[in-house]
Chain A
């Protein structure tokens, strides 16, 4: 127990140290100027970032007109970020993603997840789930999952996390990109008992009764994990790139292009010449020789452009919001479709420590492989689990080995209010040895009136295979970060009780990334 407490302390300290380190390197991808096309170091390109370095008189009217062109894609994006807010875009992006692991792992006593998913939340997620899948003990467990880099960005006050196109490796620093793959989780038993032992007045008659002791532990478990993305080189990605665009991405792209055109039509063209002349003149004057004043003038340009569009059409903001929604749908559907093309392999490694009621603490190492061929997401897991201590018993230290395979398909349009995801999975677990219990000495052996010795007791006839199937529907509420998973699970047995078991599991998960993106 002392060893376990030390391990938990080490975990907390490591997480804190990691967050402090991440604080030093976290930054978000953003445009450097509030309006205007940017050269961003491209040789031969002219942007506001190159014009600012010139003397005002050397900034040609043609160059200024080109970088301020409202029909250029960069300026469309900057205009909608100004009108609708960058955070609205970030929230839309977050809600369009649904391939994050928010709940606890399959070996928890409160979970709806048969297989651990391929990517963890980018900031923090909370999941409350009722009912175990493989464990005999049921519980209601709340799991926090967090990404130290995302939390560091939040603490730093900069963007919580940037949106980075799947192929944009320059969007974040190498170290930030490396640390982005790390995450941690902490699970709490939300309804712990007062820890009183079972009645000793009558003999227990089966394993179920022996195990019918609610956990008095509040901490259910914790874990750390790392997601790896092995990417192709840019030149390799460019080959056959066009052929990766399927009908789904093209439809999302059409909706985005239509929304952009509709927005631009709302800007009164007859007033654009006056607006443009004003800012060409201002950016060529000595009043904008200084970088601060130059940037302030660009803020004024986007503010004036938005004002004249909103004056001409009071619904301009709605059109801007629509561009944000369609842009995020396009970006996310493209990134998802290209995931397997851009990333040769996506896999994760995790270490989890669970503290089940009446059993010694257990550690597990998990390997997660995730792929999105066509419309189905396939996730495979392989796990080995061992006892932290076997308490002088003769059982094997290696508790079990697990394999899981899950298929997920999301129905409905990407911008629908509710997107149901249908999941089907198979899980196999082999109990290497009989189960090990930690019971008070007042408890009786199953089916007898023989008092069990304190600390460790071997639970007979629990060695062998567990087969488990699951069908799950997860209702994802758009723009809320809320998911409702409902699962129906059937198995030949649980880990500590032999006999067919059919369970219904439900949960509520909240991806806090959406909250912080507001």
Chain B
């Protein structure tokens, strides 16, 4: 499937998408050790393979990542049928391992 999330230019919104679209999350890192431990979209916990359907309005997506190499470059991404779209590329902080995004769907 093609990537469903696009970067938003609106203040306080990170990404935009269409209501009903399905999004799949993934993670990668330079060391190869990064893994998604849990993910929560709009208050609901997700399960492997970390797929969710976009709901109307501004919704929070929280991803808990772990990586055995502190400060390793880590990428949270949308998995899009063979390609990926980067949601966040950052040095992993073991003491602040969550990343939260606001996704607006219409």
Does A pair with B?
yes
Interface set of A (CB-CB < 8 Å, partner B): 31, 37-42, 44-45, 71-78, 163, 165, 167-168, 170-171, 234-235, 237-239, 241-242, 245, 249-250, 253-254, 256-258, 260-262, 264-265, 269, 272-273, 330, 334, 342
- Across the interface, A165 reaches (CB within 8 A) one of B39, B63, B95, namely B95
A273 touches B91 (CB 8 A): no
B35: A residues at CB distance < 8 A: 241-242, 245
Inter-subunit contact A253/B68 (CB<8 Å): no
Q: Tell me if B66 is interfacial: C-beta within 8 Å of chain A.
A: yes
Task: List chain A residues, Cβ under 8 A from B71.
Answer: 40-42, 45
Contact with A along B55-93 (1 / 0, CB 8 A): 000101011101111110100000000000000001101
For A75, the chain B residues whose CB sits under 8 A away are 96
A167 in contact with B68 given A74-B95, A238-B31 (CB within 8 Å): yes
Contact A257 B63 (CB under 8 A): yes
Contact B37 A73 (CB under 8 A): no
With a cutoff of 8 Å between Cβ atoms, the chain B residues found around residue A78 in the complex are 96
Instruction: Determine which of B32, B43, B96, B97 lies in contact with A258 in the assembled complex, contact meaning CB atoms within 8 Å.
Output: B43
List chain B residues, Cβ under 8 A from A256. 38, 64, 98
CB–CB A241/B96 < 8 A: no
Contacts A71-B102, A249-B37, A258-B40 known; A234 to B62 CB distance under 8 Å?
A: no
7 A-B pairs with the lowest CB-CB distances in the bound complex, closest first: A238-B33, A73-B96, A242-B35, A74-B96, A253-B37, A71-B100, A253-B38
A322 to B93, CA, bound (A): 20
Is the CB of B20 closer than 8 A to any CB of chain A? no
Among B33, B39, B93, the residue within 8 A (CB) of A257 is: B39
Nearest chain-A residue to B88 (Cβ)? A72
Given A39-B91, A40-B71, A256-B98, 15 more pairs with CB closer than 8 A: A73-B98, A74-B96, A78-B96, A238-B31, A238-B32, A238-B68, A239-B33, A241-B35, A241-B68, A254-B38, A256-B38, A257-B62, A257-B64, A261-B62, A264-B62
Closest Cβ neighbor of A168 among chain B residues: B70
Q: How far is the CB of B43 from chain A (nearest CB, A)?
A: 7
Given A238-B32, A264-B100, is A168 in contact with B91 using a C-beta cutoff of 8 Å? no
Contact B70 A170 (CB under 8 A): yes
Say whether, besides A167-B68, A238-B32, A238-B33, A261 and B40 are in contact (CB < 8 Å). Answer: yes
- Indicate with 1 or 0, residue by residue over B1-43, a CB within 8 angstroms of chain A CB atoms: 0000000000110100000000000000001110101111001
**Neighbour of B12 across the interface among A39, A45, A73, A273, CB < 8 A:** A273
Nearest CB in chain B to that of A245: its residue: B37
Interface residues on B, range: 35 or more
Q: Nearest CB to that of A71 among chain B residues?
A: B100
Contact: A254 with B45, CB < 8 Å? Answer: yes
Chain B interface mostly helix, strand, loop or mixed? strand
| Interface check B106, CB cutoff 8 A | no
**Chain A residues in 8 Å Cβ range of B91:** 39-40, 42, 45
Inter-chain contact A250/B37, CB cutoff 8 Å: yes
A73 touches B39 (CB 8 A): no
Q: Which residues of A contact B43 (CB under 8 A)?
A: 258, 261-262
- Are A264 and B64 in contact (CB-based, < 8 A)? no
Q: In the assembled complex, which residues on chain B have CB atoms less than 8 Å from the CB atom of A165?
A: 70, 94-95
**With A234-B68, A254-B45, A261-B40 as contacts: A77 and B96 at CB distance below 8 Å:** yes
- Could you give 13 example pairs across A and B, Cβ below 8 Å? A31-B95, A37-B90, A39-B91, A45-B71, A45-B90, A73-B100, A165-B95, A241-B66, A241-B67, A257-B40, A258-B43, A269-B58, A272-B12
Minimal Cβ-Cβ distance residue in A for B61: A261
B99 at interface by CB-CB < 8 Å? yes
Q: Which residues from A are CB-within-8-Å of B45?
A: 254, 257-258
Alpha-carbon distance between A388 and B69 when the two chains are bound, in angstroms: 48
A507 to B64, CA, bound (A): 40
Tell me which residues across on chain B come within 8 A of A342, comparing CB atoms: 68
Which partner residue on chain A sits nearest B48 by CB separation?
A250
Give Cα A250 to B95, complex, Å. Answer: 17
Do B64 and A253 have beta carbons less than 8 Å apart?
A: yes
Chain A nearest CB: distance from B87 CB in Å? Answer: 12
| Residues of B close to A330: CB separation below 8 A | 37, 64
* Chain B residues whose CB sits within 8 angstroms of the CB of A31 once the complex forms: 95
Q: Once the chains bind, are B101 and A71 in contact (CB under 8 Å)?
A: yes
State the Cβ distance, B27 to closest chain A Cβ, in Å. Answer: 9
Min CB distance B63 to A, Å, is 7
Distance, CA A342 to CA B32, complexed state (A)? 16
CB of B40 to closest CB in A, whole Å: 5
Q: How far is the CA of A220 from the CA of B101 in the complex (A)?
A: 59
For B70, the chain A residues whose CB sits under 8 A away are: 165, 167-168, 170-171
Smallest Cβ-Cβ distance to A270: which chain B residue: B12
Q: What is the CA–CA distance of A264 and B100 in the complex, to the nearest angstrom? A: 9
Contacting pair A72 B99 (CB below 8 A): yes
Residues of B within 8 Å of A171, CB to CB, are 70
Partner of B98, one of A45, A237, A257: A257
Measured between beta carbons, the chain A residues less than 8 angstroms from B97 are 73
- CB-CB nearest in chain B for A251: B38
Q: Which of B12, B40, B66, B69 contacts A254 (CB 8 A)?
A: B40
Q: Cα distance A163–B14 when bound, in Å?
A: 32
CB nearest to B70 among chain A residues: A168
In whole angstroms, how far apart are the Cα atoms of A38 and B31 in the complex?
20
Identify B31's interface contact among A74, A235, A257, CB under 8 A.
A235
B31 with A234: CB separation less than 8 A: yes
A260 and B100 in contact (CB under 8 A), knowing A77-B95, A234-B31?
yes
Question: How many angstroms from the CA of A170 to the CA of B62 in the assembled complex?
Answer: 27
